[in-house]
């Protein structure tokens, strides 16, 4: 049975939420994608793959196949985490493209097409819909790869930050006015910092 708590989504960017799929919310580190079933659950919570597609792949996968994909996802996560830590806090220079070649190779595996679909209400103009072919469990790496690519191409790396919590590993894109965000969440590390500051003040005044 899966005893993982709900995944954490505080990155303000799906690519960073993927990096945050391993974290220490309280005292014990949790890896939400430590096996195949965990990866499927995380993808569904992140809204990166439809639930019916995940269920179909779950039923179709060979023994061990989903665990192998989860292992590949963890390798991708740690490789890209290193990239973000090296580049965060400054604009991303074009020269990093060579470092991102593994990500481009992943994206080249994608199988998508567009099709004409009716309007949702049954009235109005027809529209084009992008559709992905999910031929194998490895296709589950594609939506994550695309989230990482969007992070690279749409976020200002000057505003990518690591939480200032002493034991926290979470990353986030600071979209606040003035870019003054310091914590992954005020409810988690922000509150811990306030409590620590309060205890320090009490200790200082009691001397």
Structural domains of the chain in order of their starting residue, each with its CATH number? 14-107+138-205 (1.10.3300.10)
Q: Are 161 and 181 in contact (CB under 8 A)?
A: yes
pLDDT of 27 reads 78
Read off the DSSP letter of residue 31. E
b/e burial code for range 43-73 (CB count within 10 A of at least 16 → b): bbebebbeeebbeebeeebeeeebbebbebb
Residue written as token pair 């003040």: 201
pLDDT digits (tens, 9 = 90+) for 103-156: 999 999 999 999 999 988 888 899 999 999 999 999 999 999 999 999 999 999
Strands (E) across 53-182 are located at 112-117, 127-132, 160-162, 171-173
pLDDT of 167 reads 83
Q: How high is the mean pLDDT of the chain?
A: 91
Q: What is the mean pLDDT of residues 43-62?
A: 97
pLDDT digits (tens, 9 = 90+) for 186-197: 777 866 655 554
Question: pTM value?
Answer: 0.87
pLDDT of 1 reads 47
pLDDT of 159 reads 97
CA atoms within 13 A of residue 2's CA, in its CB half-sphere: 17
pLDDT digits (tens, 9 = 90+) for 39-50: 999 999 999 999
Note the helical H segments in 61-100. Answer: 65-87
pLDDT of 26 reads 74
Q: Are 163 and 12 in contact (CB under 8 A)?
A: no
**Can you tell me the distance from the alpha carbon of 87 to that of 94, in angstroms, rounded to the nearest whole number?**
12
Pairing of strands 22-23, 30-31: antiparallel
pLDDT of 68 reads 98
What count of other Cβ atoms lies within 10 Å of the Cβ of residue 105? 10
Residue written as token pair 């809204």: 47
pLDDT of 60 reads 95
pLDDT of 198 reads 43
Q: What is the mean pLDDT of residues 166-195?
A: 84
């Amino acid at each position: 049975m899966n005893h993982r708590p709900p995944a954490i989504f505080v990155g303000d960017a799906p690519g960073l939420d993927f990096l945050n799929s391993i974290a220490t919310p309280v005292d014990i580190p949790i890896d939400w994608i430590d096996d195949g079933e965990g990866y499927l659950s995380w993808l569904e919570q992140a809204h990166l793959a439809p639930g019916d597609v995940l269920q179909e792949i779950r039923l179709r996968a060979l023994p061990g196949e989903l665990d192998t994909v989860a292992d590949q996802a963890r390798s991708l996560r740690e490789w890209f985490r290193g990239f973000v830590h090296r580049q965060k806090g400054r604009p991303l220079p074009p020269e990093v493209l060579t470092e991102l070649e593994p990500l481009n190779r992943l994206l080249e595996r994608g199988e998508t097409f567009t099709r004409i679909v009716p309007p949702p209400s049954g009235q109005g103009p027809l529209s084009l819909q992008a559709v992905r072919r999910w031929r194998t469990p490895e296709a589950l790496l594609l939506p994550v790869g695309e989230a990482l690519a969007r992070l690279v191409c749409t976020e200002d790396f000057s505003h990518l930050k690591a939480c200032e919590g002493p034991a926290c590993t979470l990353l986030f894109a600071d979209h606040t006015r003035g870019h003054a965000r310091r914590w992954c969440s005020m409810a988690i590390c922000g509150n811990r910092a306030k409590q620590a500051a309060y205890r320090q003040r009490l200790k200082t005044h009691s001397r």
